Amino acid sequence: MSVKIAVSAFAHRSARRRHALELCAYSAGLVALLVLVAFWIVAQMLPAAPIAWPSSMRLAPAVPIPWSPAALADVFSLCLVGFGLLVLVPAQVAATLAAERRSGTLDQLRSTPLSPLGLLCGLVVGAPVRVYLLCLGPLLFHVGCGLCGVIPLDTLAATLVVLATGTIASTLLAAIIALAPRQETGGAFVALTVAGSLGLAGMIGFSFALDTVSVHWAFLDPAGALNAAMLAHDGLWRHLFVSAWSLDRFHDASYLDAMMLAPLGATLLALGGSVLLARAACRKLAQPHLPLFSKPQAVALFALVAASLMVPVGSDGASQFRELPLVLGLFLLPVAGALATFSTPSFEAWALALRRGRRPRSWQDDASALGATSAMALSYLALLVLKLDGFPSQLDGSQIVALGWAIAVTLCLPLFALFAATHFRTQAARAAFAVAISAHLLLQLIAIGMVNSPPFGPGEQMWIELGAAAGVLVPAWIFYRQRVLVRRTLAGA
């Protein structure tokens, strides 16, 4: 009930009935424009004679492109809908939420009887209703193309499911970014950050589907799954995005299988991620003083991301990629860092627990994220053991040292996050500390990479020793400073 009320109220706030009708008209006009442009392009392209390549330069058989105005308009429509729902809607949600938060109106919304879930749904579904309405025409055109046979029905179903679940996950991710603590930036900046990040991720995901190896990871972004779904059908989309020289890859059954599975994988990932993100957002809306993620939520999110990255890896992956644990770890380190940071308590919560004289349990909100990060590292190792045959027995001594070092670096992340949260009050101070710690982590990664690939020259030896010294001294100094703060806090300073 609360959800329905909130969605209706926010939708009504964003676009009143007359305005909604206007937007629907714009959307219909957009479709008409797309169809006209498609007709014009097809009219230009159809009479074009095939390029007469010299027989010596002919690398692939000439394949006629199946031009059709409806199919081309459908390509345009789907691209527009994808951009609208997967980039613009999340940006709009982030902008709205950040602006509400900054101006203080979020507190007024919180004082209404809406449940946190209702408020979240209102912000995620109701607030960006203008963009939804603008996307309505192209989306209906895409559905029409599916029903009229321009694209197969299973492709239509796959694209619709990916669009729906991808939109939910992307908007919730945007909401989480806007709810992140200590960011007093305005709505426009947050919106640009969200749009830029999701747009870049979308482009990378889209390109994943075009390659026979990376297609296994195309499901990580809804844009990749959309591309895979459309490429699986031999239509205009495939001929527009894949050159004639590369079309023979579609004879590869494993490539086709991976493309068929991408929408399913994307849907499962989006649904799993959405549940976790929605719970975190609701918690933050209900109790703004708590960290963004609870410890179990942080561990579950990490496990979901780690599993998503590792599921496509073949069981013989380690024999093909001896560096696999470290390469995957390199992708997961920023994820662990972000999750540790956003599950770290504020200074006030940390000090309150300290002064109460009880040691918080590691999964409680006022505890540091050390327990959660340890669980993340363990879950990563467990996934490696499950996924890679013979892990870790087939690693040699230096690789084991490198892996151990990398895990030690990971376990220092909660200490850095707690130090930043409890020592620095201003954005600038936190940013400076983040830069310094990033430099430290970069040095650690360089040194770990060198340890992982013996033999070492004298120069490499020096980097490794430097990295090892920094790897001990920096956390030790931060640990000492944190102990000093503990004493001062207990003394009431």
Partner 1 sequence: MAPLVQCDRVSLSYDGLRHAVDAVGFEVQAGSIFALVGPNGAGKTSTLRMLATLAEPTSGTISIDGLDAAGNREAVRRRVGYLPDNFALYEQMTPVDYLDFFARLYDVAPTLRKKRIDALLDELDLTQKRGAQIRTLSRGMRQRLGVAKTLVHDPKVLLLDEPASALDPGARMKLREALERLKHRGLAVIISSHILPDLAGLADAVGIMEGGRMIHCGPIDRVAEATRGARIVYRVEVASPDRARRALADFGPRLVDFDEREPGRFELTVEGGPDAIADLVESLVLRGARVSHVAPRESALEAVYRASAAAAVA
Contacts of residue 471, Cβ cutoff 8 Å, sequence gap at least 6: 405, 408, 409, 444, 447
3-state secondary structure of 152: coil
3-state secondary structure of 72: helix
Position 17 contacts partner 1 (CB under 8 A): no
**Burial (CB count within 10 angstroms: exposed 0-12, middle 13-18, buried 19+), residue 425:** exposed
Nearest alpha carbon to residue 85 among 194, 167, 17: 167
| Distance, CA of 14 to CA of 122 (rounded, Å) | 11
| Distance, CA of 429 to CA of 426 (rounded, Å) | 5
| Distance, CA of 217 to CA of 331 (rounded, Å) | 13
CB count in 10 Å sphere of residue 242: 15
3-state secondary structure of 147: helix
Least distance between partner 1 and beta carbon 26 (Å): 20
As given in the structure block, the two tokens for residue 321 are 């990629």
Least distance between partner 1 and beta carbon 5 (Å): 5
Of 139-147, 226-234, 343-351, 449-457: span binding partner 1 (CB under 8 A): 343-351
Q: Which of residues 103-122 bind partner 1 (CB under 8 A)?
A: 103-105, 107-115
Which member of 12, 233, 238, 249 binds partner 1 (CB under 8 A)? 12
Least distance between partner 1 and beta carbon 102 (Å): 9
| Distance, CA of 488 to CA of 196 (rounded, Å) | 42
Position 3 contacts partner 1 (CB under 8 A): no
Position 6 contacts partner 1 (CB under 8 A): yes
Judged by beta carbon, residue 78 or residue 114, the one nearer partner 1 is 114
Judged by beta carbon, residue 58 or residue 425, the one nearer partner 1 is 425
Position 355 contacts partner 1 (CB under 8 A): yes
Which member of 13, 361, 425, 483 binds partner 1 (CB under 8 A)? 13
Q: Which of residues 280-339 bind partner 1 (CB under 8 A)?
A: 287, 289
Of 166-174, 231-239, 348-356, 462-470: span binding partner 1 (CB under 8 A): 348-356
Of 10-18, 20-28, 82-90, 140-148: span binding partner 1 (CB under 8 A): 10-18
Size of interface with partner 1, in residues (CB under 8 A): 33
Which member of 248, 252, 316, 348 binds partner 1 (CB under 8 A)? 348
Position 246 contacts partner 1 (CB under 8 A): no
As given in the structure block, the two tokens for residue 342 are 């956003």
The type of residue at 7 is V
**Residues 46 and 67 sit within 8 Å (Cβ to Cβ):** yes
Judged by beta carbon, residue 22 or residue 323, the one nearer partner 1 is 22
**Residues 265 and 225 sit within 8 Å (Cβ to Cβ):** yes
Residue 392, preceding bond cis, omega within 30 degrees? yes
List % helix, strand, coil for the chain (3-state, nearest 5). Answer: 75, 0, 25
| Distance, CA of 109 to CA of 16 (rounded, Å) | 20
Judged by beta carbon, residue 10 or residue 237, the one nearer partner 1 is 10
Q: Specify the residue for token string 């960006």.
A: 128
| Distance, CA of 418 to CA of 438 (rounded, Å) | 15
Which member of 39, 347, 456, 463 binds partner 1 (CB under 8 A)? 347
| Distance, CA of 202 to CA of 207 (rounded, Å) | 9
Least distance between partner 1 and beta carbon 405 (Å): 37
Of 99-107, 186-194, 376-384, 386-394: span binding partner 1 (CB under 8 A): 99-107
Which member of 356, 359, 425, 488 binds partner 1 (CB under 8 A)? 356
Which member of 232, 313, 351, 375 binds partner 1 (CB under 8 A)? 351
Least distance between partner 1 and beta carbon 9 (Å): 4
Q: Specify the residue for token string 């949600």.
A: 93
Least distance between partner 1 and beta carbon 442 (Å): 35
Judged by beta carbon, residue 99 or residue 247, the one nearer partner 1 is 99
- Where do contacts with partner 1 occur on this chain (CB under 8 A)? 1-2, 5-6, 8-9, 12-13, 16, 103-105, 107-115, 287, 289, 347-348, 351-356, 489, 492
